[in-house]
Amino acid sequence: EVQLVESGGGLVKPGGSLRLSCAASGLTLSNDWMSWVRQAPGKGLEWVGRIKSRTDGGTTDYIAPVQGRFTISRDDSKNTLYLQMNSLKTDDTAVYYCARVNSGRIDYWGQGTLVTVSS
Amino acid sequence: QSALTQPRSVSGSPGQSVTISCTGTSSDVGGYNYVSWYQQYPGTAPKLIIYDVTKRPSGVPDRFSGSKSGNTASLTISGLQADDEADYYCCSYAGSLYVFGTGTKVTVL
């Protein structure tokens, strides 16, 4: 059974940093394309970014609002995905989901972790 | 990349059919057959119900069906049931990134 478990969310001041983790079981993160998706309170889903599998180069892509501030990485020894978030803004307040991308669709999702950016 | 456009809400009585549209551009919906649909109940993670425009994952009832014409994809729920009441999101590959729809709340009257 595949499980994705996020952690690391919390309250942070504008301009601050936070690192989210996503521990995987039942799949090997280095073999998969993984994404982060966020959902602001009462709002819709927003795709944040993606890291390709190791065999596909492990490159990353991000949406414009987070480009240069957010970084997706992976620790293969821990089978864990990360989202490093710097220079946080109030607009970044959301539940952040870790998810597996499989040939154009997201087939596994974590339960989400809430990030609140507020002074 | 702008969000795909979905109606804010649709409703129907039990047993009826409802259709949700998802309008994008030739750079996303119209350019790829990687359109997927997700069902989300309040406070829970989304669940994949349609992928590659028309395919259903194992375990998803055949009451759910997808289609696409040009830059618009659609999700049809036939034989509406009470537990279909949820939020629905489309999603399309857009060349190196993905874009979600604005979301549609389905209400079962």
- Please report the pLDDT score of residue A115 as a whole number: 98
What is the rounded distance in angstroms from the CA atom of residue A45 to the CA atom of residue A112? 12
Residue B83: pLDDT band (50, 70, 90) is very high
- Please report the pLDDT score of residue A109 as a whole number: 97
Residues A11-63: pLDDT tens digits? 999 999 999 999 999 999 999 999 999 999 999 999 999 999 999 999 999 99
Which residue from A45, A61, A106 is facing B97, i.e. has the nearest CB? A61
| CB B87, CB B104: distance < 8 Å | yes
Please give, rounded to a whole number of angstroms, the shortest distance from the CA of A104 to a CA of chain B: 5
Mark yes or no for CB contact A45/B91 under 8 Å: yes
Overall average pLDDT of the B47-56 stretch? 97
Kindly state whether A107 is in contact with chain B, defined as any CB-CB distance less than 8 angstroms: yes
Cβ-based neighbours of A6, under 8 Å, separated by 6 or more: A20, A21, A22, A96, A97, A98, A110, A111, A112, A113
Residue B96: pLDDT band (50, 70, 90) is confident
Nearest one of B107, B61, B65, B70 to B92, comparing CA atoms: B70
Mark yes or no for CB contact A105/B100 under 8 Å: no
Kindly state whether B1 is in contact with chain A, defined as any CB-CB distance less than 8 angstroms: yes
Q: Is the pLDDT of residue B44 over 80?
A: yes
- Please report the pLDDT score of residue B25 as a whole number: 96
Q: How many residue pairs from chains A and B have C-beta atoms closer than 8 A? A: 63
What is the rounded distance in angstroms from the CA atom of residue B57 to the CA atom of residue B51? 8
Residues A60-97: pLDDT tens digits? 999 999 999 999 999 999 999 999 999 999 999 999 99
Q: Is the pLDDT of residue B64 over 90?
A: yes
Q: Is the pLDDT of residue B1 over 80?
A: no
- Please report the pLDDT score of residue B99 as a whole number: 96
- Across B13-23, b (16+ Cβ under 10 Å) vs e yields eeeeebebbbb
CA angle at A70 for the pair A65 and A74, rounded to the nearest 5°: 140
Residue A103: pLDDT band (50, 70, 90) is confident
Kindly state whether A70 is in contact with chain B, defined as any CB-CB distance less than 8 angstroms: no
Overall average pLDDT of the B8-37 stretch? 96
